[in-house]
Chain A
Amino acid sequence: MSKFLATFSQTYLSKVRAKSFMISTAIIVLLIFVGANFDKIINIFDSSEEITTLKVESDDAFYAQFEAVMEPIETDFDVAQNDGEIGDAEALLRVDGTEPLAVTLEADQEIPGDQMTDIEMALGQVQRMMTIQSLNLTQAEAERLNASPDITYDIAGQDAEDGEASEEASEAGGEMPDINPLNTVIFYVTVIVMFFIIINYASQIGTEVAMEKTSRVIEMIVSSVAPVTHLLAKISAMISVSLTQLAIFIAAILIAIQLFDFSEIISDFGLEANDQTLTMIIYSVIFLILGLILYLSIAAMLGSFISRMEDLQQALLPVTMFSLIGFYIAIFNIWGSADSLLVRISSYFPLFTPFVMPLRSMHEETGQAPLLIGVAILIVSIILAILLAASIYRNSVLSTSNGIFKNLKRIRKE
């Protein structure tokens, strides 16, 4: 155990202390904080300044209507009648004609987009009211004109008992999967993080193993510690390094949430948990960790095949290829049916399982059985991959022959 810890801590510390780790972590943390303050950054570069008062030059009737329309809109400027003076942070709205409505907006500065939208919206409403008046429509006719379409939303997380209409809608559109935005976010984060870590750390562990082999220090190491222990320590260390980085990112996100106000964004996107969220989080974490172990074990095995650093990228190609395919299957099927044949089949293929199973776990109808089978498949694959990696590692550490196939042939013969 102490030998395991020696290799573990040596690999872990040297990786965490490496400049590349610190720089890449710092860049992402910086991006998180930049992202959290995106609105403020936009404001810095936005030369337009908000107006505080909008002065209106018109007859009393228009002004009264405009003021009435503006009142319910939550704007950050006041509306006043023109008193002939336009000061700083003030704009003038001059009505040139009412039939049809024609106005001129004057200001000494750019007006921000959201204030413009408010003004345009209010003007549109005033025009509609004026038209209704000029056509002499009855109250009922006016209401019909203003009525909005009857839209029923059937979205995961909203109670289906909202009304009959929603029941009907869900029956009619039964094929559409229920997608909860929060679960989608969790899914995307899991799959993207897994892909990112696999691509990044597979090449790192491959490099680690190959470098030890090519520098021949491995002969001293395996004369002190069993190759399997050494390999496991290396893989665990690399997974811990990746999880450390992940933890730093999560901490940065949590700090950003504490420091800056996100409540608007969260409510805007309707990020609310539903019944499936907890199950999904648990399975996502399990598949994330198992996926990392599987891919990193395979990368370590592939790294031990080669004896020249130049061959590393070529040797790691299968890892890149399979993780990319798994990633795409998962990402492109999120809006389709979780029960499609491709998703179902690929979710049982060990190298795709960690990507595709989190997608299936989003949907309640998947049930526990396939997810547990997925976990079992991964555990068995990991055990096989590690056994194979250890056996190949043990037999190939002392080999200097080039090429994966030559090594495989040799190992099979021995």
Chain B
Amino acid sequence: MTLELNGLSKSFNGQVAVDDINLKVPAGSMYGFLGGNGAGKTTTFRMILGLLQPSAGSITYNDKKINYDVTNEIGYLPEERGLHPKLKVDEQIRYLGQLKGMSKRDIDTKLTEWLERFEVPENRSKRIEKLSKGNQQKIQLIASIIHDPKLIILDEPFSGLDPVNVEILKTAVKELNRRGATIIFSTHRMEHVEELCESLCILNKGKQVVSGNIDQIKSDFGQKEIIIEGDHDVEFLRNMPGVLDMKQIRRKSILKIEDEKYAEPIFNEIVKLGYFKRFQVNEPSINDIFISKVGHEL
């Protein structure tokens, strides 16, 4: 039960939007697509859904091509939000639910559940155009997951929401994942990937920069971060072997080292100076990996 992208490419009028993407999304995992604007996230999703034909490469879901026979198993929240403005919330959800092969009764039961979970049960018979942007987004998310899809693709699900609603939505997404759904989502917020995903793919200008299990990526990345906090002068550490960079903020020093093996000699050096409040070796952040691979911050 996996989604596989092999050599996936897409160009528009000779301009390459997505260039040779190869990845595997394991069943039941939470997979993040990270990239700036124009990185090719939406184009990749549209190709997965069959809305765009790839220029090259293939996509398989459970070893089969994705077509309209399996769309009932897939839920999709597009990046560009939009619903029928004149319809009422329940009419809209009923219509989109029926397109996913649900019966009206099931839709009504599920809708009640989700509206309560998203704390907007009063919106049930309001017209879409009367809702705030955030509430419209909740309704659209309900529309994309109401049929309990096995594969959920969310394009920038948290953009434009206030922190309270981001939390509500994150909880819902985690819950769906716990119930067994494979979730792919795109974002340009590192902390969301860090918090939610087991695997990720960093895209830059259509190219796949790095992909796979986050822990694996971090450990393969090698670089570690050391935080030292104390009253002694540690400027000399800058010249120790394996130190790539060093920043000092008052009594706190942050070192980047090439590999974990250089941490021990540094530790041995500073204990000679005396008492230190803190010596901590951290995994690199996604941000560090991103900057190192892409060459600039997101």
Contacts and interface: CB of A to CB of B under 8 A. Distances in A.
Interface in B144-159: 144
B270 interface: no
A138 interface: no
A217 B84 contact: yes
A224 interface: yes
Contact of A398 (B51, B76, B100, B143): B51
B13 A219 contact: no
Interface core residue of B50, B76, B83, B95 (most chain A CB under 10 Å): B95
Contacts of A10: 91, 95, 98
B99 interface: yes
A225 B68 contact: yes
Contacts of A211: 84-85
A219 B42 CA distance: 12
A220 B140 contact: yes
Given A223-B51, A223-B76, A215 B99 contact: no
Nearest to B68: A226
Interface in A356-394: none
Contacts of A219: 51, 76, 78, 80, 82
Contact of A215 (B53, B82, B98): B82
B98 A216 contact: no
Given A14-B87, A220-B144, A224-B71, A6 B95 contact: yes
A216 B136 CA distance: 13
Interface size range of chain A in the complex: 20 to 34
B99 A3 contact: yes
Interface in B47-90: 49-53, 68, 71-72, 74, 76-78, 80-87
A212 interface: yes
A220 B76 contact: yes
A218 B95 CA distance: 13
Given A215-B83, A215-B84, A216-B78, A223 B95 contact: no
A314 B83 CA distance: 25
A232 interface: no
A413 interface: yes
Nearest to B74: A223
Interface string A206-231: 00000110111111111111100000
Nearest to A2: B101
Contact of A224 (B46, B86, B100): B100
Contacts of B76: 219-220, 223
Given A212-B84, A216-B80, A398 B46 contact: yes
B83 A217 contact: yes
B30 interface: no
Nearest to A6: B98
Contacts of B51: 219, 222-223, 397-398
Contacts of A223: 49-51, 71, 74, 76, 78
Contacts of B74: 223
B96 interface: yes
B83 A224 contact: no
A212 B83 CA distance: 8
Chain B binding site: helix, strand, loop or mixed by DSSP?
loop
A245 interface: no
A410 B50 CA distance: 18
A226 B78 CA distance: 17
B84 A398 contact: no
A7 interface: yes
Contacts of B86: 14
A217 B143 CA distance: 11
Contact of B99 (A7, A212, A214, A216): A7
A5 to B, nearest CB: 8
Interface string B254-269: 0000000000000000
A222 B46 CA distance: 11
B99 A224 contact: yes
B83 A398 contact: no
B107 to A, nearest CB: 11
B99 A221 contact: yes
Nearest to A213: B82
A220 B96 contact: yes
A14 B95 CA distance: 11
Given A220-B140, A223-B49, A398-B52, A215 B85 contact: yes
Interface in B215-230: none
Contacts of A221: 96, 99
Contacts of A212: 84
A412 to B, nearest CB: 11
B94 to A, nearest CB: 8
Nearest to A225: B99
Interface of B: 12-13, 46, 49-53, 68, 71-72, 74, 76-78, 80-87, 91, 95-96, 98-101, 140, 143-144
Q: Which 3 A-B pairs have the closest CB atoms?
A: A216-B82, A6-B98, A224-B99
Given A216-B80, A220-B76, A223-B78, 16 more contacts: A2-B98, A3-B101, A6-B98, A10-B91, A10-B98, A14-B91, A215-B85, A216-B78, A217-B84, A219-B78, A220-B78, A220-B82, A222-B51, A223-B51, A398-B52, A410-B13
Interface of A: 2-3, 6-7, 10, 14, 211-212, 214-226, 397-398, 410, 413-414
25 contacts: A2-B101, A3-B98, A7-B99, A10-B91, A10-B95, A214-B82, A215-B82, A216-B81, A217-B83, A217-B84, A218-B82, A219-B51, A220-B77, A220-B144, A221-B99, A222-B51, A223-B49, A223-B51, A223-B76, A224-B96, A225-B71, A225-B99, A226-B68, A398-B51, A414-B53
